Amino acid sequence: MSYLELDFKSREAITPRRRERRARTPLSFTRLLRGLTALATLVGGVYLSLSLLPDSEAKVEDSNLKQQRLHYSVLLPSRQIDPSTAVVEDLIPTEPSAPSSSNPWNTVQIKTGDTLASIFSGLGLSATTTYEVDNLNKQTKQLRKIRPGQNISVLMDDDKQLVSLKYMPDITQTLEVKRQEDGSLSSQLIHHPLEAIPVFRSGTINSSLFEAAADSGISENIIMELASIFGWDIDFALDIREGDQFSIVYNELYKDGDKIRDGRILAAEFINQGDTYRAVYYTDPKGDSGYFSPDGKSMRKAFLRSPVKFSRISSRFSNRRWHPILSKWRSHKGVDYAAPTGTPIRAAGDGKVNFTGTKGGYGKTVILQHGGKYTTLYAHMSRYARGMKKGKKIKQGQVIGYVGKTGLASGPHLHYEFRLNGVHRNPLTIKLPAAEPVNKAYKAHFEQETKSYLSMLELMQNQVVAQLNQ
């Protein structure tokens, strides 16, 4: 038996009155503890979730200063955890070691205008040495890009010959140049792995997603990633409403106790107008990664190659073709599928209706929006399927209308266009986003790997709900 300290904080600003009430009625405490107990029984779910990443230490916290800190101890069954390493309470940045007088290394802080040559010459190293280091190999070319504030450390022998050089081009790597016994130089680039620490943050939208994220201490990068993960299901420009909620588990990357940057989103939940969307990041044993819904479907939605079954392509995508009705050369920015009038036309992908109506030579037309980047257009319809109003959500394969010859069409066919970022692309040849579900063979692995993060989302959601109910 062992304990794991969990350090949760509430998401909203707590007024003194609220705090009083909480003290009298510790409802959320009870609920959260109940939730935690359930979680602990999930085969050490909490521990698992925090140990999924190699070299990561457990840290679950929300650092918004406005937030109240709740502290719980969770009993984990049959897991040995050293409490001193299970949780990093505060990460204290390590002080750089002061140079000692006996240190034979010369460390130079780079100033504006410095070059390797000027630094070497300042240290008494010859121009030949500068040339030798500069031309050693691709790694040492990095010394041409030194920036003010960085350090170069140089070790010399009594004859002012370069013995060794150390330089950190960035916080994740060190370049080392060394004099070999035969007098030649060699170099190596040492990579310093960053420590990934999962953090949990959540927010409720009052005005904008970005403001809600900022209030919760979430960076713009993470929120952009969140929007791209859910971009196939939610239109972040139009669908977002006041009261929408989101919860994100993501890595923060540390080196020697200093946060370097945000890492990957591991799991996320978005409640949009009452609909809950969840995604988890998963890497299968073959090394393929992606975001999946809890039931293993890809968050990215693929497209059907052809929106009309049992049809033949009567005209391909081209930049120039003879238009039989207009009797002139025109580009054909789509593909035509010849099919009898009334043949059902299916949505190429999940999305929503962007336009339904008559559009000049296109005749009766439907345009669908798929995620943030893709639109598809279906023209010359004889009629629309029922309820094709702008904004209506459409599933892939759903019938959106029927083949016809409205507009400029010589015979019944579907004119189909595919646009990526507003630019026409050939739907027959464009590389479509892969959207394979989790391989059936890996289903158990997927569940094992992701359940702790999903439990964590659930737990946090319960806590948010409990607070809102107070």
- Using CB under 5 A as the binding rule, the residues of this chain from 317 to 336 that contact Zn ion are 334, 336
CB of 363 to Zn ion, least distance (A): 11
Complex with Zn ion: residue 405 or 451, whichever CB lies closer: 405
Considering the complex, state which of residue 235 and residue 336 has its C-beta at the smaller distance from Zn ion: 336
Closest distance of CB 323 from Zn ion, Å? 9
Report the nearest approach of Zn ion to the CB of residue 350 (Å): 24
Q: C-beta of 427: minimal distance to Zn ion in Å?
A: 11
By beta-carbon proximity to Zn ion, the closer residue of 198 and 427 is 427
Residues contacting 279, CB < 8 A, separation 6+ = 229, 230, 265, 267, 268, 269, 291, 292, 293, 299
Question: Least distance in Å: CB of 312 to Zn ion?
Answer: 13
Interacting span for Zn ion (CB under 5 A) from 149-157, 347-355, 383-391, 415-423:
415-423
Residue 287: Cβ within 10 Å count:
6
Q: What is the DSSP letter of 54?
A: T
Residues whose CB falls within 8 Å of the CB of residue 114, separated by 6 or more in sequence, listed in order: 146, 148
400 versus 414: smaller Cβ distance to Zn ion: 414
415 touches Zn ion by CB under 5 A: yes
Phi, psi of 37 (to 5 degrees): -65, -45
- The bridge status of strand 195-204 relative to strand 185-191 is unpaired
The burial of 167, by beta-carbon neighbours within 10 Å (0-12 exposed, 13-18 middle, 19 or more buried), is given as buried
Q: What is the C-alpha separation between 52 and 253, in angstroms, rounded?
A: 15
Question: Residues 6 or more apart from 137 whose CB is under 8 A from it?
Answer: 187
The single-letter code of the amino acid at 240 is I
Q: Minimum Å distance from CB 357 to Zn ion?
A: 18
Helix H or strand E encompassing 455 = helix 443-468
Crossing angle of helices 27-40 and 16-24, in 10° steps, is: 70
Length of the chain equals: 470
If one asks whether residue 278 binds Zn ion (CB under 5 A), the answer comes out as no
Phi, psi of 451 (to 5 degrees): -65, -35
Count of residues engaged in binding Zn ion, rule: CB under 5 A: 3
Question: Minimal distance in Å, beta carbon 31 to Zn ion?
Answer: 59
Question: What track of x and - describes contact with Zn ion for positions 357 through 396 (by CB under 5 A)?
Answer: ----------------------------------------
Nearer to Zn ion, 179 or 415 (CB): 415
- Of 231 and 334, which has the nearer Cβ to Zn ion? 334
Q: How far is the CB of 329 from Zn ion (least distance, A)?
A: 14
Of 115 and 314, the one with the shorter C-beta distance to Zn ion is 314
Q: Interacting stretch for Zn ion, rule CB under 5 A, among 17-25, 256-264, 349-357, 411-419?
A: 411-419
* Contact by Cβ (8 Å): 3, 76: yes
Residues 335-354 binding Zn ion (CB under 5 A) are 336
Site string for Zn ion, 112-151 (x = CB under 5 A): ----------------------------------------
Interaction of residue 300 with Zn ion, rule CB under 5 A: no
Nearer to Zn ion, 99 or 340 (CB): 340
Handedness of CA 432, 437, 438, 441 (dihedral sign): negative
Q: Pick the closer one to Zn ion by CB: 184 or 410.
A: 410
Question: Which CB, 202 or 375, lies closer to Zn ion?
Answer: 375
Find out whether 229 and 264 touch, Cβ atoms under 8 Å: no
Residue 334 dihedral angles phi and psi, to the nearest 5°: -160, -165
Q: What minimum distance in Å lies between the beta carbon of 332 and Zn ion?
A: 6
Q: Amino acid letter at 159? A: D
Dist CA 278 CA 124 (whole Å): 61
Position of minimal CB gap to Zn ion? 415
Distance of CA 362 to the CA centre of its chain: 38
Residue bearing tokens 């025109």: 330
The binding site for Zn ion (CB under 5 A) comprises: 334, 336, 415
